[in-house]
Structure 1
Amino acid sequence: MRPPFLLPATLAILALVPACTTGRDARPAAATEEAVTAAAREAMLAAARAIGGTDLKADARWASCLGGVGYEYVGGGTMQAREGDVARQLEAVRTALVRAGFTDVTQVEGKVSVERDDVLLTLTYHRAYRGWPVSFHSKCRSYPRADRARVQSAERRDIGGLTR
């Protein structure tokens, strides 16, 4: 005799398996690039306005995810800003980014981490460099064959439109 919960448990597992095994996303790689680029540009410009930042630069490229289970679009940049109370500057950056539609997901003191449209961005002040490094990346996704050459390219692409 089978336990009464076996059939419902088996059906639940079978219903979940297709979602796990496809490993594909309907979103094309170009859409991920556009989302990351737009989010990085908007975040850097908002942060620069909040603290008087200048000399904004950033680029991005495709990278393989940990374990080789997909690809993410990653990048980074820098911003210069006048010296000031770093804690107040971080709070001004956080406020500006939340007002720009980002969600604050900060978990570490001394940094601002925000997220929007599956893009995570982190800004912090680097005391030795006296600047504001920015890092950002998309979520890890598996892309169709049509995008294979694009996501396997390690070519860095500048993020334009960072002048205020």
Structure 2
Amino acid sequence: MADGSSYNVKLYVYDLSKGLARQLSPMMLGKTVEGIWHTSIVAYEEEFFFGGGGITSCRPGCTILGMPDSTVNLGNTEVPQDLFQEYLSSLRESTYRPEKYHLFEHNCNTFSSEAAQFLTGKKIPSYITDLPSEVLATPFGQALRPLLDSVSITPSENGSLNGYGLR
């Protein structure tokens, strides 16, 4: 990069269960699940995420979820913002269109991991990306799968639910 600019990249991690997963998972799943994770990438002073509305962005911490439960510093990137925007545009038209969202196989965490790898060369922590397969491996996860497959999560910046719940 000609100007040598470097930008910090963070992963915002939200527990959609607000602590209930940790409390109820031992009884329901037979193992402890620390949270039901929604993630987003924060770079260039913007928060980027994928949900039932496709790839969207807002000011950091301005989704309906508020401030994240935790933040992971993913390091720095030298990818210019305009190149990242071009990359997001291509993803919006291909693999991350709204109708491609799937709670277990192609979700916010899949997007965050791919975007993190593009920006920093690193994926997001595996405790987040491995959670769906861990839950589905339990009898309760298998029983709930038909219901969970119909869930779409899209935190909007204007405070509306915008796709939370069943679609």
Higher-RCO chain (CA-CA 8 Å, sequence separation at least 6): 1
TM-score by length of 1: 0.30
Larger radius of gyration: 1
More strand by share: 1
